[in-house]
A and B are shown apart, each in its own frame.
Chain A
Amino acid sequence: MGAFHYHIIYGLINFAILAAGLYFIGRKLIPKLFGGNRQKIQDSLDAADQAVVNARTIRERIEAANTRGTEECAEILRNAETTAGAEKQRAEEADRHTADSLKADTEKEIQYQTRTARRALTRTALMDITARAASLMGQPQYQKARENLTETLIQRAEKELVITRGELNAYRERKGDVPVELRSAEPLQPEQVSRIRNAVLRALRDAGETPKEEEISVTEITDESLIGGTYLRVGDTVYDRTLKSMLERASEEVSILEHDDEEMVQALKEELRKVSNGADIYQTGTVSSVSDGICRITGVSDAMAGELIEFNRDLRGMVMDLEKDNIGVVLLGDYTDLQEGDKVRRSGRIIEVPVGEDLIGRVVDSLGNPIDGAGEIHTTETRPIESPAPGVIARRPVSVPMQTGIKAIDALIPIGRGQRELIIGDRQTGKTAIALDAIINQKGKDMICIYVAIGQKESTVAGCVQKLREHDAMDYTIVVCASASESAPMLYIAPYAGAAMGEYFMHKGKDVLIVYDDLSKQAVAYREISLLLHRPPGREAYPGDVFYLHSRLLERAARLGEEYGGGSMTALPIIETQAGDISAYIPTNVISITDGQIFLETDLFNSGVRPAVNVGLSVSRVGGSAQLGAMKQVAGRLRMDLAQYRELAAFSQFGSDLDKATRATLHRGDRMTELLKQGQYAPMEAADQVISIYAVNEGFADGIELKQIPSYEKGLIPWVNGRWPELHARINSGKKLDDDELKKLKALIASYTENFQT
């Protein structure tokens, strides 16, 4: 073998040894050295594979987002067009309604002008007719007829003349003197005078006295202006059968309003035939003193408490004080010209006000006289301002809601028809605003509203009337105004006058809402009258019956049973407190009378919570009975939740760390408090309130910023209503929402919330 072959064999052996060495050394060393790197490479490979999957998923998401985006854009445009269509339709209806209202107002105005013109024509004609009749009756050919009037009066006096109890007492006081006055157009015969004297004597004997003839002092006066007949006054009682008084009565009794012009002459003939031509019998008195709106009158011995007394020149007064030898009368009008010695006359009626549909839309004073400059009010009925409240049998429980349109009240302090709910708070806390919003919300709800302004500035009342007109609320509202410039008696009777007007509608089966703004001023006016009448002052100088002043007023608000007409009168009395003191005399009185109170706090008002309702101190004793089923469902636990929130809010001010549940409660409570804020003159429908409160109560608004809650709510309602128009009717039916309906509502709110957040 040659050297070459040795080299090859050595090479091969060398190679084998090298390979074996590499294999045995590197078999474990190499994996140990490169193992970590291998894992990294594997991870990278896995990440790369995952990236492919991710990229595929992302592409799929892009496609889905594109589809969704296209649909959303189309939905937005569709909604905008639907909303625009609905707005246009609503606007058209509103315009139609405005045009119809204007037309109706014009027709009413024309009718009113027609009636006023007819009334003026009637008055002018009557003046002419009575003047002609007076001239005619004074002519000699009617001498016998005129004498006959005196004869019939004397005959009647002989048969029917009685001495009233008051006059009898006066007779006894005067120890046997009965003044008798005889006035006639022509001198009476002595025999006639004697017959009168005998008639008086007979009356005294019938009353159990033993009079002497000389006790009857007869004064005879001849007065040609009486035209004919005789005026007889015995003590305070007058028997007036003169032609002059008959003609004056004829002017007052005849009223022609409803007849066409063609029939007016014939109608006037009929009315003239019906004019009373008998003796006018009434009691008279004499003014003995006048001061500070109180008049003392002697005579009118049988005057009744609360009776209307007629002075001259259209001045009226109300009997407040009955004393032994005089009566105290509060004057209801301008008494500048009233003098000592002026004659007054009993009306025989308890003070009353005109009532009827013609008062609706008008502003009147406490006696029902118009003060809005829109002309006379033509009513045919009157009601006494004081009347007994409906009894227990006539009433039925309060169960129908009276929606104020204010979320905080309708959800937490619900008011029912026939309830008395007090609105109490310091000045400038929004009491009147709540009342006005409640009135504005009654539009279209077949409710007559009465706003009684007591002791307020006329500018304030004018502002309220203007606001009511702007919101078409004057179409169903009466405003009774006893402003700060009126005398105390007018402020005193204003709420009763309003109640009388409301009772007219209530007894006709209608629902009435009456606001007394405010009763504190009525109490002050009553205090003033009582002190001037020298009645003994009690606590805070109020008279002892100041509770009765308000209780008899507020008891007249009730819900009547079906057999009594089924009407109702809901009262919202307002009381102004001083420095939040609800434990003062008048506030505690009225709180104990009413069926709950809405307490408004100054601090809440100043911190921007408006309406500034203190939910903790406010209550409605009727409660859920006067709430719609759906509202009770969503707001059922709201009061408790808010109470819990208030406690935790106070606690969190200490700045300690709060647990998750507490933070969640505070978070939800902040949003609910923000939701319950509401602008003025913006009442909400009950169904809309249910939607808003439900949304926040169920936590849909938890992700919304506090300051965005108003805009969230503003968009939520048309969103839900547009997609579920039947919801309103469902909620207003009074029934609760079932599970399916709640689910549907939740879905709608959820979709709106998602849209709002993006």
Chain B
Amino acid sequence: MISINISDLIWTIINFLLLCFLLNHFLYKPVLRFMDDRQARMDAKLSEEKDAREQAAENDRRLEAEKAKSCEEAKRILSQTDAEIEERHNAALLQARADAAKDRKDAEADLEVRREKTAEKLSEAAPELAGLLAGHLLGKE
């Protein structure tokens, strides 16, 4: 006949509890700890890659900004140059026109003096030249 031995039952329960305790302390917890550590390491590595990507994107943005700044600076240099060129050109043109106007004026004044002198000379020589022409037209075949 089957009978329940209370003392065996109690020892079995104690045995089981002791086993559970030992398994929990020496197996279950270390294994979980190991798994957690492993997961943490994996997460850390993945996080490192994510950080690196974010850093790369941030760096790209920074480089774009610097490049845009350089382009702006280049544009500024070129537009400043254009402005300088325009200013120099206007000044040079003004000077050239002023010089040309002065030369023209001087030349016109000189021309007028010479014209009057020459007209006077021609007028004085006119009778002689008329005589020369008349003689030439009448004198030869």
Contact = CB atoms under 8 A, between A and B. Distances in A.
Interface stretch (A104-112, A335-343, A449-457, A490-498): A104-112
Residue among B48, B104, B130 facing the most chain A CB atoms (10 A cut-off): B130
A303 B2 CA distance: 163
Nearest to B48: A55
A269 interface: yes
A98 B129 contact: no
Contact of B136 (A77, A265, A273): A273
A275 B132 CA distance: 11
Interface residues of A, number: 79
Contacts of A102: 96-97, 99-100
A52 B41 CA distance: 11
B93 to A, nearest CB: 6
A102 B52 CA distance: 66
A569 to B, nearest CB: 35
A272 B132 contact: yes
Interface residues of B, number: 70
A129 B133 contact: yes
B42 interface: yes
A85 to B, nearest CB: 8
Contacts of A80: 73-75, 77-78
Given A110-B104, A113-B111, A261-B117, A125 B133 contact: no
A58 interface: yes
Contact of A48 (B41, B56, B81): B41
Contacts, number: 209
A95 B88 contact: yes
B84 A88 contact: yes
Contact of B121 (A243, A265, A273): A265
Contact of B133 (A62, A91, A250): A250
Interface string A1-41: 00000010001000000000000000000000000000001
Given A73-B66, A261-B117, A52 B49 contact: yes
A62 to B, nearest CB: 5
Q: Which 4 A-B pairs have the closest CB atoms?
A: A132-B130, A80-B74, A51-B49, A55-B52
14 contacts: A52-B49, A54-B52, A88-B85, A98-B93, A109-B104, A129-B126, A133-B130, A136-B134, A142-B138, A243-B138, A261-B121, A264-B118, A275-B137, A277-B136
Interface of B: 8, 11, 15, 38, 41-42, 45-46, 48-49, 51-53, 55-56, 59-60, 63, 66-67, 69-71, 73-75, 77-78, 80-82, 84-85, 88-89, 92-93, 95-97, 99-100, 103-104, 107-108, 111, 114-115, 117-119, 121-123, 125-127, 129-134, 136-141
Given A65-B56, A84-B81, A269-B132, 19 more contacts: A44-B42, A45-B42, A51-B45, A54-B49, A65-B60, A66-B59, A73-B66, A80-B75, A87-B78, A87-B82, A87-B85, A92-B88, A121-B119, A128-B126, A132-B130, A145-B139, A228-B138, A277-B141, A278-B141
